[in-house]
């Protein structure tokens, strides 16, 4: 059976043991994280489902990858955007309505991807941005030299992340609860640091990043967008091509198994939270210079959009499943859709309906196959029930 996996043998009910694909094909092992959740249906369900359909999902799976769907969505958005507004594809729109507005949000999705992949969450990253922004303003006001301010803020960001990591790994607390707490705590410290003050007297050599495109990018990219691209490559390599990145996915997929496989789960998680804090601080510095304003609630509302974009990128909220390419695509879909809608004079405040709708689609569509098969098995069960009932009725009189 194994050397000749014909359609007949595959479509036989229960004729497809869970381990078979990976045993027969070593290359499939690499894909085991994505293959397992969609493991063959239990024998009962397989027996109830129409026999010819058992194979279809296997053939369609590469086409149905979430990343492909995002590429289609991106293409559709760009086409519709270009069709509805002449301005959509202009460099001015790309620069000021996409790159400038969403640069920091995009940057924060990168560490968030890794944290969620490891089965944790960091809801405090936007508060880290706010606190960093406040610190930049406060220290600059105190007469620190700007390079010193930046260095101090970055170190502080990593420290804030370490606090999260220590609470999660050393005390064994759930990160969802810990970071709801530190989200409030860090935002609170930002208010203590800066109070009601708004600091705007930053040197123009730093604040030009909020006005001018990066030279040599054809008037397209903002400084923060360029940082995002560089970081996306770095994070992509880190996640997909280093032992550290692979251990992140392994932890998210099965923490116990990862531990037994010799991965230092606590250390990896602590490092991830520190990375998240560090990147949040960087986003805070960029945010401050872009707006040339340090205020205690800078960027505080970005937390839910950041999580939403990561999930839209196909990262499982339970960890262990997802890719950085998906998240980068989701960033592009999200930002281009928002700017397209802005240009069509859609009620700017109603844009959130798009965020919500996309997010809902991102969890419903990948589950549609399962949903359909469950509906089928339910219908089948009902059919069986009706048949049994009819039999009973026929038999009893």
Partner 1 sequence: MTSPLAWADGQPGTAPSGSRRLVDLIFRARELGIIGVLAVFVAVAASVQPRFVDSQNIKFVFSNTVIFALLALGETLVVLARNYDLSVGSVLGLSAYLSAHLFSQVHGIPIAAVFLVGLAIGLGCGTVNGLIVAVARVPSLVVTLATLYIFRALDVLIIGGGMVVAASLPGGFLAIPTSSAGAVPYLAMVVAGVVALGAYYLRSFRSGRELYAIGSNPEAARLAGIPTGKRVFTAFVASGAIAGLAGVLWAAVYGTIDSTAGYGYELTVVAAVVVGGVNIFGGSGTVIGAALGALLLATINQALYVLGISSFWDKAIDGLLIVVAISLDHWITVRLTAALRKRSLQHAT
Residues that bind partner 1 (CB under 8 A): 123, 167, 171-174, 176-178, 180-189, 191-192, 195-196, 296, 304, 307-308, 311, 317-318, 347, 349-357, 359-360, 362-364, 367, 370-371
Q: What's the longest Cα–Cα distance across the chain?
A: 97
- CB of 371: closest distance to partner 1 in angstroms? 6
At closest approach, how far in Å is the CB of 363 from partner 1? 4
Neighbours of 354 (CB within 10 A): 16
Separation between Cα atoms, residue 279 and residue 232, nearest integer Å: 12
CB 185 to partner 1: min, Å: 3
Q: Is residue 272 within 8 Å of 245, Cβ to Cβ?
A: no
**Closest to partner 1 by CB, 211 or 317:** 317
Q: Which region holds residue 216: left if phi is over 0, alpha if psi is between -120 and 50, else beta?
A: left
Closer of 155 and 371 to partner 1 (Cβ): 371
DSSP per-residue letters across 265-283: HHHHHHHHHHHHHHHHHHH
Q: Rounded to the nearest whole angstrom, what is the least distance from the CB of residue 298 to partner 1 in the complex?
A: 14
Inter-helix orientation angle 175-194/146-169, to 10°: 150
Residue with tokens 């105190």: 142
Instruction: Residue 17: count other Cβ atoms within 10 Å of its Cβ.
Output: 11
Taking the least distance from each CB to partner 1, the nearer of 225 and 358 is: 358
The helix or strand, by DSSP H or E, that contains position 57, with its residue range, turns out to be: helix 56-64
Q: Which is nearer to partner 1, 84 or 367 (CB)?
A: 367
Please answer whether residues 89 and 82 qualify as being in contact, where contact means their C-beta atoms are separated by less than 8 angstroms: yes
Nearer Cβ to partner 1 (23/360)? 360
For partner 1, the closer CB: 130 or 150: 130
φ/ψ (deg, to 5) at 235: -65, -35
Give the nearest distance from C-beta 234 to partner 1 in angstroms. Answer: 27
Provide the minimum distance between the beta carbon of 164 and partner 1 in the complex, in angstroms, as a whole number: 10
């Amino acid at each position: 059976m194994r050397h000749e996996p014909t359609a007949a043998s595959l479509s036989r009910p229960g004729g497809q043991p869970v381990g078979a694909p990976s045993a027969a094909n070593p290359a499939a092992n690499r894909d085991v994280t994505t293959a397992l959740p969609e493991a063959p249906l239990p024998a009962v369900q397989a027996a109830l489902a129409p026999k010819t359909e058992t194979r279809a999902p296997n053939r369609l799976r590469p086409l149905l990858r979430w990343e492909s769907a995002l590429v289609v969505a991106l293409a559709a958005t760009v086409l519709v955007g270009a069709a509805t507004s002449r301005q959509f594809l202009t460099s001015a729109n790309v620069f000021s309505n996409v790159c400038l507005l969403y640069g920091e949000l995009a940057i924060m999705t990168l560490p968030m991807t890794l944290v969620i992949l490891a089965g944790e969450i960091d809801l405090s990253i936007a508060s880290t941005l706010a606190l960093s922004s406040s610190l930049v303003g406060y220290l600059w006001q105190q007469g620190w030299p700007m390079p010193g301010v930046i260095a101090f803020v970055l170190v502080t960001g990593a420290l804030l992340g370490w606090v999260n990591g220590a609470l999660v790994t050393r005390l064994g607390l759930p990160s969802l609860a810990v970071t709801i707490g530190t989200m409030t705590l860090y935002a609170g410290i930002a208010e203590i640091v800066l109070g009601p003050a708004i600091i705007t007297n930053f040197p123009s050599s730093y604040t030009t990043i909020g006005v001018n495109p990066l030279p040599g990018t054809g008037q397209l990219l903002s400084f923060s967008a360029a940082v995002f691209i560089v970081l996306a490559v770095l994070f992509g390599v880190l996640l997909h091509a280093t032992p550290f990145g692979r251990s992140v996915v392994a932890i998210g997929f099965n923490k116990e198994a990862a531990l037994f496989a010799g991965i230092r789960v606590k250390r990896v998680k602590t490092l991830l939270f520190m990375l998240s804090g560090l990147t949040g601080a960087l986003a805070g510095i960029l945010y401050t210079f872009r707006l040339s304003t340090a205020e205690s609630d800078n960027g505080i509302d970005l937390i839910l959009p950041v999580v939403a974009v990561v999930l839209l990128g196909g990262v499982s909220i339970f960890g262990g499943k997802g890719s950085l390419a998906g998240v980068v695509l989701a960033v592009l879909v999200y930002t281009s859709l928002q700017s397209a809608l802005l240009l069509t004079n859609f009620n700017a405040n109603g844009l959130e309906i798009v965020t919500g709708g996309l997010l809902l689609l991102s969890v419903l569509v990948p589950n549609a196959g399962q949903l359909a098969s469950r509906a089928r098995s339910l219908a089948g069960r009902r059919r069986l029930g009706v048949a049994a009932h009819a039999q009973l009725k026929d038999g009893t009189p």
